[in-house]
Amino acid sequence: MNERIRRITSIAIVACATALSASAQITDRPRPAEWDKLIPGGKYVDRFEAMQGNKLSDKVWGAQEVLPRFVDNGIEHPDISFWGGNILKGKEGKYHLFVCGWPENAEKGHMEWPNSTVYHAVSKQLHGPYTIQDTVGKGHNPEAFTLTDGRIVVYVINGYYIANSMNGPWEFKQFDFNPRDRKIIEGLSNLTFARRQDGSRLMICRGGGVWISRTGTSPYNQITEKRAYPDVEGEFEDPVVWRDSLQYHLIVNDWLGRIAFYQRSPDGVHWVTEQGEAYVPGISRHKDGKVENWFKYERAKVYQDKEGRPIQMNFAVIDTIKWEDHGNDRHSSKNICIPLKKDLLLSVLNTVPIDASTPTIEVRIAAEKGFNPSRQLDIPSLRFGSFNEVNFGRGCKPLSWKKEGKDLIVTFEGKGSGITAEEFAPKLIGKDKKGEFVIGYAHLPYINYKPAILSALRPRYDEANKQWKVEVQNFGLSASEETTLKITSNGLTVAETLLPKLKPYETKTVSIKGENRLEDQRLVSVKFYRNGNETAVNKF
C-alpha cells in the first residue's frame, strides 16, 4: 500500500478498535506482497479525491470519528437513516439522487431497513447537499437508470418503479428472470446495471451472475453459471457495474474484510482483476487531510460523465456496527459523495496486433476542455502497456512525441509492454507537470468491443431420432463467427457440430446425430471453439 492508503487504513483500524468491541465484524484479509510495489495510479483506491463541501459541523449525530464532517455533502437528516442510492442528471441541469431510508427513531434502529422508503432528492451540485423532493415508494437498495425511450427505472430489491420522468408518477412492477437451465447464484438481490452499446442492459446480481435484458425491462437472461468476482477469499456483496466508452468495469466489496476489488471486461462476461484495493475505510477525506472515518462504506454507486467515465462515487456509510445503531441514539447512516480522478481518453494507432516483437506503439492522448496534453503532461514519466506491468512502474517508455491538432501522439518503444493476444485495453500511468498521477486505458483498433456472446441451454437427447438437440442464443452485439460446438462429459466429447452463424439476439436449435453416452446427465457441458481455441464453456 502507498503511504496515504496505509495511513488512512491505520487510522480506521485504530479508531474503530478503540470505539468498538472485538466482535465488530472485521476480518483482516492479508494483502499479496506484490501490492506493496504498486505505484500511484496502480490501484483503484488512488483515484479518490478530497470530498467537497462548505459546511463543517460537529453539532450533529455520529461517533467522534466522523466529527466534524461536511453535513452538506451527499444527504443526511437528523430524523432519517439513509442507505444506498445513485444519481442521475435531469434535463433541467439538476442532480437527482434516488436513495432509501427509514425513521432514525425506529425501535429496531438500523434493522428497520426492510421497511425502507425510496426518496427522490435533488441538488444543484453533484456533491450535494441533496434535499428530499418526494418519495417513490417502499423499497431498499435502489439503483436508477434511464431507458432508451427516456423513461426512468428505479430498481429496488424484489421489483422496480418506472415513470416517464424523475418526478413520477411511479408504477411498481417486477422483472422476469430466466435462469436458462442454470442455478441462480446466491439469489436475485442488490442488482446492478450497465448500459450496453445498443441500449440493452447487462446486470450483475449480488452473487456475481451475469444477466442480459434486451430493453432493460424485458426478461433478464442468465448467461453465466459462475460468479464474475475474483477467485479469492471474501464475503462478497454490493457489486457496482458500469460501462464507459471503451469497456466494462466492476467493483465488488468484501463486507467482512472491508476491502473492495476492481475488475474490467471487454464484454461484461470475461473479467480481469487488477491489483490493489478498489476502496477501503478512510477514503472520505478533506483537502486538509481530515478523514471522516466511517465504520462501513457500502452500496457503492458511480456517476458517469458523457464519456461514461466515473467522476464521483456515492457510498452508504454508518458510524458504528449496524446492530449498535438504535432508535433515538447518537448513531445513524447517510449517503456521501466522493469525487474521482477521471481517465485520459486514449487510443492506439497501431493497426497490427501488438505482441512482444512490436518495435513501437503509437498512442493518441486526446485533448479535452480544460486539458491540453502537450502542455500539462510530464511526457517522459509516462509508461504504457499491460496493467500487470504499468501498475508497478514498468511498461514501455516514450521515444518521441508530437502534437496533432490539440491532441498528443506519443511513440513508445515496444519493449516491455506485456501486451498479449488477450489484451483489450492497455493502460497508461504517468504524471502531470504538477507531479500528480494520470491514468487511462487505450482503445485497440483491432479489438471487437461488441463481440458475440454465445450461450447454450442444457443439451437434450432425442432417443427416437438418435440425436442431440441444443438451443444456442447470441447475446452479443455482433454476428458470431464460425464456431464449433461440442457436447462434453467428464472431459470426453460426446457430440460436436459446426454452429451456424448467429446474428445478435438470434436463437437456433442445432441437432447432432449421435449416441447418448452419458452415464450422468448432470455432468454435461457445452463448449464453444473458434480457430481451435476454446472460447466459452457452459456447465449445467
In the CATH hierarchy, which top-level class contains the domain 454-539? Answer: mainly beta
- CATH for 344-443? 2.60.40
Cα separation, 528 vs 540, whole angstroms = 15
What are the boundaries of each domain within the chain? 3-339, 344-443, 454-539
The mean per-residue pLDDT over the stretch 81-105 comes to 97
Across the chain, what does the average pLDDT equal? 94
- The proportion of the chain whose per-residue pLDDT surpasses 70, expressed as a percent, equals 95
Cα separation, 97 vs 130, whole angstroms = 7
With H, G, I as helix, E, B as strand and everything else as coil, classify residue 6: helix
**pLDDT the model gives residue 520:** 67
The mean per-residue pLDDT over the stretch 464-493 comes to 95
**pLDDT the model gives residue 519:** 67
**pLDDT the model gives residue 7:** 40
Please enumerate in sequence order all residues whose Cβ is within 8 A of that of 325, keeping only pairs 6 or more positions apart, or say none: 81, 109, 110, 318, 319, 331, 332, 333
pLDDT greater than 90 at residue 358: yes
Whether this prediction's pTM lies above 0.85 is answered by yes
The mean per-residue pLDDT over the stretch 464-473 comes to 95
In terms of Cβ atoms closer than 10 Å to its own Cβ (0-12, 13-18, 19+), residue 126 is: middle
- Among all chains, which residue has been given the C-alpha cell 462429459? 489
User: Of 537, 425, 532, 529, nearest to 480 (Cα)?
Assistant: 529
pLDDT in tens, 209-221: 999 999 999 999 9
Please enumerate in sequence order all residues whose Cβ is within 8 A of that of 308, keeping only pairs 6 or more positions apart, or say none: 242, 243, 244, 245, 246
At residue 451, what is the residue type? Answer: P
pLDDT greater than 90 at residue 12: no
The answer to whether 3-339 and 344-443 have equal CATH topology is: no
**pLDDT the model gives residue 382:** 98
The fold for domain 3-339 equals Tachylectin-2; Chain A (2.115.10)
The mean per-residue pLDDT over the stretch 370-398 comes to 98
**pLDDT the model gives residue 540:** 86
